[in-house]
């Protein structure tokens, strides 16, 4: 849990009377929790084909639609919008609907991929500006996100994620969803969407990696927890908590990929989800950077991922609904003082993901990146107070995220049903004001 004293104090009515802004307590997923904690409103511009499937999804989840009062979610299918008049129609729907959005509500817009027609392309891209701006306007823990979809997309997995408490710290994001790659997945239980899937998590001994392992296990996955031998005791504890196995492995070793594949072949015969979370920092201003710091960070954060991916994709172990999820960072998008080596490695991860995605689609495999922003960990707890407070407040939700927020996003991308999402970089940063 977060140790955000200022956020906790801001809940006190006496403190609020002093003019202190209230920092919202975010709605996060809990086992057995409903998709939404209230009704929704769904709209469409023209002949959008996704409004009715979204309504069916909501009905199946027990969510009702209402035309009056507060709502827990606003969904607009704008996939048929091609003209400026359609854009005006979107505003006419969104303005009154957003006024009704309850605390911790969700605004989700589905927009078309840009076409070659200049006006239609302008309208499609306009929704990017609408949603990113709305994300900075909605209050009390509410979020706004955009799905850019092709006509043959299967959006169910993504709609569920962005409407649920799993996406609590994902705000102002634009995610492209296309036709699913690979064979149609078997139906899954929404309480255990990863049941029957084998998941490898590197850097699993502590922090975000441990949270990823625990969250994937909660959702039904069989966990292979990987970390360096020096973290063996903590790694074993994570494996025990998740009911998985621990593999002590230095992923920078020359034989690391071979040892990982041998473990998977012997214990499970396959792997469905590979989470590249292991990472290190060796901060220094570029003017003072030495080769050891540079090479160590690149070796763990990027070179090892490239080697393991190459070995997996060259083997028969990765299933035909394989999901590779790489943990990048907002530092790889916006840069960060004293972190040229780290930012280079994380930007490199993003480049790798974008290049790999189209290459492996024919195998049914997706490759995506998750880019955390300021996440409350043992490391951030040791920061100077001013630095820590700055990191917490410079986003639309005015607080740091939790390791589970990164883990929930990884879990969504790891689902077999998320085959239409690939080559994407999803920031888990509360819509940080730094970076794209």
For the annotated catalytic residues, the residue numbers are: 342
Of 326, 317, 328, the closest CA to residue 363 belongs to: 317
The secondary structure of 185-253 as a DSSP string is PPP-BTTBTTTT-EEEEESTTSHHHHHHHHHHHHTTPEEEEEE-GGGHHHHHHHHHHHT-EEEE--TTS
Q: Is 192 helix (H, G, I), strand (E, B) or coil?
A: strand
> How many Cβ atoms are within 10 Å of 319's Cβ, its own excluded?
19
Cβ of 291: how many Cβ atoms within 10 Å?
Answer: 7
The Cα–Cα gap between 348 and 337 comes to 17
Q: Which residue has the tokens 């899954």?
A: 188
Cβ neighbours for 375, distance < 8 A, ≥ 6 positions apart = 208, 400, 401, 402, 403, 405, 406, 428
Fill in the DSSP letter of residue 315: S
What is the 8-class DSSP label of residue 419?
A: T
Dist. CA 207–CA 70, nearest whole Å? 37
CA distance 174 to 436: 11
354 φψ region: left (φ > 0), alpha (ψ -120 to 50), beta (else): alpha
Q: What is the CA radius of gyration of the chain?
A: 21
d(C-alpha 9, C-alpha 19), whole Å = 12
Token output for 82: 């091609």
Q: Under DSSP, is residue 303 helix (H, G, I), strand (E, B) or coil?
A: helix
Q: What are phi and psi of 109, to 5 degrees?
A: -115, 135
Q: Which H/E stretch holds residue 144? A: strand 143-149
- 324: alpha, beta or left? (left if phi > 0; alpha if psi -120 to 50): beta
What does each C-alpha distance from 46 to 87, 90, 126, 153, 293 come to in angstroms? Answer: 11, 10, 17, 18, 56
């Amino acid at each position: 849990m977060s140790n955000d004293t200022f956020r906790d104090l801001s809940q006190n009515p006496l403190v609020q009377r002093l003019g202190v802004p209230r920092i919202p307590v975010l709605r996060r997923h809990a086992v057995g929790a409903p998709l939404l904690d209230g009704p929704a409103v769904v709209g469409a511009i023209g002949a959008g084909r996704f409004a009715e499937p979204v309504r069916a999804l909501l009905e199946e989840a027990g969510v009702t639609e209402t035309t009056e009062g507060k709502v827990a979610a606003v969904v607009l299918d704008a996939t048929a919008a091609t003209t400026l008049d359609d854009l005006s129609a979107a505003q006419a729907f969104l303005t009154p609907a957003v006024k009704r959005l309850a605390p911790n509500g969700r605004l989700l817009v589905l927009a078309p991929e840009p076409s070659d027609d200049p006006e239609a392309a302008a309208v499609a891209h306009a929704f990017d500006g609408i949603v990113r701006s709305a994300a900075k306007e909605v209050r009390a823990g509410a979020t706004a996100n955009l799905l850019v979809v092709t006509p043959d997309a299967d959006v169910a997995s993504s709609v569920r994620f962005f409407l649920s408490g799993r996406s609590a710290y994902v705000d102002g994001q634009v995610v492209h969803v296309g036709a699913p790659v690979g064979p149609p997945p078997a139906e899954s239980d929404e309480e255990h969407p990863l049941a029957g899937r084998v998941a490898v998590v590197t850097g699993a001994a502590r922090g975000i990696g441990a949270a990823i392992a625990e969250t994937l296990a909660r959702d039904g996955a069989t966990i292979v927890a990987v970390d360096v031998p020096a973290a063996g005791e903590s790694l074993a504890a994570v494996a025990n908590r998740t009911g998985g196995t621990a593999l002590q492995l230095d992923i920078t070793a020359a034989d690391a990929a071979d040892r990982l594949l041998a473990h998977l072949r012997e214990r499970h015969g396959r792997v469905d989800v590979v989470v590249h979370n292991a990472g290190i920092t060796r901060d220094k201003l570029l003017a003072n950077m030495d080769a050891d710091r540079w090479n160590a960070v690149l070796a763990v954060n990027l070179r090892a991922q490239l080697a393991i991916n190459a070995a997996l994709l060259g083997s028969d172990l990765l299933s035909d609904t394989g999901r590779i999820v790489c943990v990048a960072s907002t530092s790889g998008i916006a840069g960060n003082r004293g972190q040229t080596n780290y930012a280079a490695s994380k930007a490199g991860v993003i480049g790798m993901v974008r290049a790999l995605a189209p290459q492996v689609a024919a195998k049914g495999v997706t490759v995506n990146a998750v880019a955390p922003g300021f996440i409350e960990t043992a490391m951030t707890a040791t920061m100077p107070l001013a630095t820590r407070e700055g990191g917490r407040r410079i986003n639309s939700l005015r607080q740091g995220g939790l390791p589970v927020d990164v883990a929930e996003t990884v879990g969504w991308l790891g689902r077999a049903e998320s085959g239409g999402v690939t080559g994407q970089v999803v920031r888990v940063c509360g819509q940080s004001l730094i970076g794209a």
